[in-house]
Amino acid sequence: MTINRRHFIGAGATLTAASAAAAPAVRRSGSRPTVIASGNGFESRDADGLTCVELAFRQMTAGTDVLDALIAGVNIVENDPEDTSVGYGGLPDADGVVTLDACCMHGPQRRAGGVGALQGVRHPSRVARDVAFATDHHLLVGEGAQRFARNFGHPIEDDLNTDRSRALWLEWKRRTDPAHYPDPQARAEAGREVGLAMVAEGKIDPEHYYGTINCDGVNAAGDVCGVTTTSGLAWKIPGRVGDSPILGAGLYVDNDVGAAGSTGRGEANLYSLASFLVVEFMRSGLGPKDAGMAALKRIQSQTVHPRLLREDGNPAFNVNFYVLAKSGEHAGVAFYGGRSYAVCDEAGPRHEPIEGLLG
């Protein structure tokens, strides 16, 4: 097994962190305190050796507001230069600029906020929270979002690239533009093919090409919240905003029902507002797994363009849902399984398998 920085840092802290994170919580609503996240929620670690789900669970069960605890958790991933799908060091757009999207929803207070195409702020999740609680709006984008962030005291950095993200962009650029910009359609298709080739070669984690982190939690009182933050699709057209900051697409929370968030091909998720669908399926009586599978079937039925289909007629991309019911029941589902999602509850932090609809 290859030892990387995160495994090395985490090795000495895992047992201590697990014991602390699994501290019992008093239940008053029948809800089992639980935090779930995409797989990278149990990978990046802070200076104390805690991962996203561990820190969020520890804070939440100690009495911190659920959303504040979740945002503190995803900040760990936003800070990690080794995670090229979120925050600092996220894979840039086609011009080499890192632009970030985020959304948060507070179930009990019925508040939500998002930012899109935000440059220079490595913690877009915090800015999304300020949009939710300090404005009457749900979404700010581009230069306006950056000015808002500056006005609220968020540090603005000139460049969120790391040496790694910049090197990957330069390799992509060399492969896609050997003769300076062909026609836009050809360039877009060439860019997609090269990006997927770099995934196949192991240069880019397949989960980071469409990379995101979603994190959802419920406390003992039954308060449900969620947050999603991302650097978006690698090498995207500048100005592209995906599903992550859009209410009902990359995230949806209903305090009476639960929460759902998504990673994967954002355009497919946007077309169906599928995270909203997942929560509505739970409202109708389905459990988290079945609700997520039902939303995947909806996306599958709406995927008709040949360029988005495999030879067997199934989607040539993946969409993952992380689903949390108010009770604390949870599931991770996707078109294609084989990956895992992160969980922390009274049994401690861990990865659990994502179940595939199509294999």
Fold of 5-159+206-356: Glutamine Phosphoribosylpyrophosphate, subunit 1, domain 1 (3.60.20)
Q: b/e for 317-343, b at 16 or more Cβ within 10 A?
A: bbbbbbbbbbbbbbbbbbbbbebebbb
Q: What is the pLDDT of residues 37-62, one digit of tens each?
A: 999 999 999 999 999 999 999 999 99
Question: Residue 95 is encoded by which pair of tokens?
Answer: 């011009």
Distance between CA atoms of residues 112 and 131, nearest Å: 8
Active site residues: 212
The neighbour count for residue 276, using CB atoms within 10 Å, is 19
CA atoms within 13 A on the CB side of 324: 36
Q: What is the pLDDT of residues 241-289, one digit of tens each?
A: 999 999 999 999 999 999 999 999 999 999 999 999 999 999 999 999 9
Residues in the chain: 359
Whether residue 1 has pLDDT greater than 90: no
Q: What is the pLDDT of residues 217-239, one digit of tens each?
A: 999 999 999 999 999 988 898 99
Counts for the chain of helices (H) and strands (E), in that order: 12, 13
For residues 48 and 58, is the Cβ–Cβ distance under 8 A? no
Q: What is the predicted pLDDT for the residue at 190? A: 63
Residue-averaged pLDDT of the chain: 88
Q: What is the predicted pLDDT for the residue at 209? A: 57
Q: What is the pLDDT of residues 284-329, one digit of tens each?
A: 999 999 999 999 999 999 999 999 999 999 999 999 999 999 999 9
For residues 71 and 227, is the Cβ–Cβ distance under 8 A? yes
For 297-341, give the DSSP string: HHHHHH---GGGB-TTSSBSS-EEEEEEETTS-EEEEESS-S-EE
